[in-house]
Amino acid sequence: MNEWTTSYDQQPLLCVTLSDLLRNRADQIGDQPAIVYGPSDRTYTFDELNDVANRIANSLLEAGINHQEKVSVMASNPLTAVLSMVGINKAGMVYSPINFEYKGDALSYQINDTAPELLIIEEQYVDRLNAIADGIRSVPDVVVVEADDEGESPADQFSATSFDELRDGNDDEPPVEVSWDDEASIVYTSGTTGMPKGVVIPYRWIFANYTLFRQQLLNSDDVVHTSLPMYHVGGVYFDLHSGWIAGAPTVLWDRFSPTDFWDRIDEYEATTVTLVSVMATWLEKQGQRDTPTTLNKVHMQPLPEQYERMASDFGFDFVTVGFGQTESGMPIAGAIRAARGDDATSTDVRRGKPPETIANDVESIGAPVIDAAPDDRYMGRPIESIMEVTTLDDRDERTDTGVPGELAVRPKLPGIILKAYYGKPERTVAAFSNLWFHTGDSAYADDRDNYFYVDRQGDVIRRRGENISSLQVQEILNSHSEVETTAAYPVPAREGGEDEVAVTVEPVAGAELTERDLRAFVDDRMPEFMRPAYIDFTDQMPTTKTNKLEKYKLRQRTVDRENL
């Protein structure tokens, strides 16, 4: 087992794995809560969590799954996902979560791309799995969560057992050596081109990169609140793992609810939360609180224009920012002293590190602490101990100060960023061209090395916190027998600073295709977040003289038509 101090004061944690962390926490603070499932108040202490991890790990090993083989999880209940993950990683296997909104082509694509040895799936999604059984090339064994009382699995197209059986293994430490450079997970993301890609994440990415900044903010007196899904790195790593490193519990919720948000915070005296995309807008609409809140550290990504007003209204000591990405982790970060004086978190309810300790710890890793963001979309500064950061032009030359370019990173240590795109060596090589990892996002830096987010590059749509591949939307629509071709593209959402999915469809000549027909077609084949908000029809797609599709013309026509 790797050694480090119990207080986690060796930064960054270069050689730690989840197995190490669970053993250490169980040994040092085993009776303290590790996770709480908010809807039922079901609590696992660190000792209980380590015990469940061992039981699941030993069951997986007894099933014949080998070191670094993949186990997929499709669960909307975050507690199920977390228990599965700790067991998978404790066995030295690779956690590969699936978005629980997936169905049809989107679901079969990821299962085929990952080719897991085992799939843990909630019973409510088994019908979706049965429906695509004929299209799965390498059929995994299946574990069903909450199978019926007779123990007969509803996954009738697969070899299946129940989750209770998986949890019934022996509680000995599994006889497995897990290393910091082992693969911890494969998390799927839609990049700037093509179909979604599985990002291969090693343990060092988790402990010495993505959670490094958050580690400076927390101690064991904190309570982490998360409603982010466990198939995204934000929920499972930035929130959950950061809390565990600090010895703090994480309260898990199935989904974000602006109307229930403050009741949930107050019930568990939560001190920190991550708000992504439109969450901040929804929360602001709830209005100012009448009573002090324990919530004093809020991570907002991207930083909304109204962050100062929210901090003042709600009493947030710190608003933190960063550039967070599945591939590159968090190479840029910063903290803003948001609410001060009478507006700050009341000392009567404040928990966690004192504000000045937080400021000192954040600055100790090279991240800035400032009193106000210098401009919109501020992300902070590079954490130079782990990564070099720059912006590049189309020829991979550095751009000048203030000039936008593609954000690119270069790790200073092995295992700090992704290992690869799973099963896609050409895409991996392309992303690492000219000795830089290209993030696919546009940004610029000022003369003080502050970085500011500009936009995504390429053909990707951002909706409800999801990156959506326009190619994947098009491929599903193009499979309709009366569709000649389609174009999918983003248009501005009416609130929240994200996108809506818009498509333009060119029907087959003579077809009488309607919008209603297409909506019924996609309902069975796309998760809700991927479905088009706007559908337009055209007799002929606009193209350049070299037959390249001119999506900008279609986008403008939709914007004008919808008066966006």
Contact 135, 108 (CB under 8 A): yes
Q: Determine the pLDDT at residue 193.
A: 58
Whether residue 233 contacts residue 324, with contact meaning beta carbons closer than 8 Å, is answered with: yes
Task: Report pLDDT for 564.
Answer: 57
| Shared fold status for 18-30+44-178 and 207-382 | yes
CA angle 273, 499, 439 (to 5 degrees): 70
What superfamily does domain 460-562 belong to in CATH? ANL, C-terminal domain (3.30.300.30)
**Among 62, 72, 109, which residue's Cα sits nearest to residue 94?**
72
**pTM greater than 0.75 (yes/no):** yes
Residue with tokens 């190479």: 331
Q: What is the side-by-side order of every strand in the sheet holding 534-537?
A: 483-492, 499-507, 534-537
Q: Are 518 and 505 in contact (CB under 8 A)?
A: yes
pLDDT at 409: 99
Architecture of the domain made up of 18-30+44-178: 3-Layer(aba) Sandwich (3.40)
- Report residue 408 as tokens: 């690119």
In DSSP terms, which residues pair with 492 in a beta bridge?
499
Q: What is the structure's pLDDT at 467?
A: 77
CATH number of 207-382: 3.40.50.12780
CA distances from 475 to 275, 468, 487, 505 (A): 32, 13, 10, 12
Cα–Cα separations (whole angstroms), residue 463 to 55, 191, 298, 497? 38, 13, 21, 9
How far is residue 51's CA from residue 36's CA, in Å, rounded to a whole number?
16
With contact defined as beta carbons under 8 Å apart, do 374 and 450 qualify?
yes
Q: Position of tokens 């389609």?
A: 486
* Backbone φ/ψ region at 138: left (φ over 0), alpha (ψ -120 to 50), beta: beta
Nearest Cα residue to 486 out of 498, 468, 469, 470: 470
**Based on the number of CB atoms within 10 Å of its own CB, is 431 exposed (0-12), middle (13-18) or buried (19 or more)?**
buried
pLDDT of the residue at 174: 98
- Look at residue 194 in the predicted model and tell me its pLDDT: 66
Q: What is residue 12's predicted lDDT score, i.e. its pLDDT?
A: 61
Q: What is the residue extent of each domain of the chain?
A: 18-30+44-178, 207-382, 387-456, 460-562
- Specify the fold of 387-456: Luciferase; domain 3 (2.30.38)
- Give me the average pLDDT of each 10-residue run along the chain (564 residues): 44 86 95 98 98 98 98 97 98 98 93 98 95 93 74 59 94 97 94 79 98 96 97 97 97 95 97 88 81 93 85 92 96 92 78 95 96 90 97 96 95 97 96 96 94 79 80 88 91 82 94 95 92 94 68 86 70
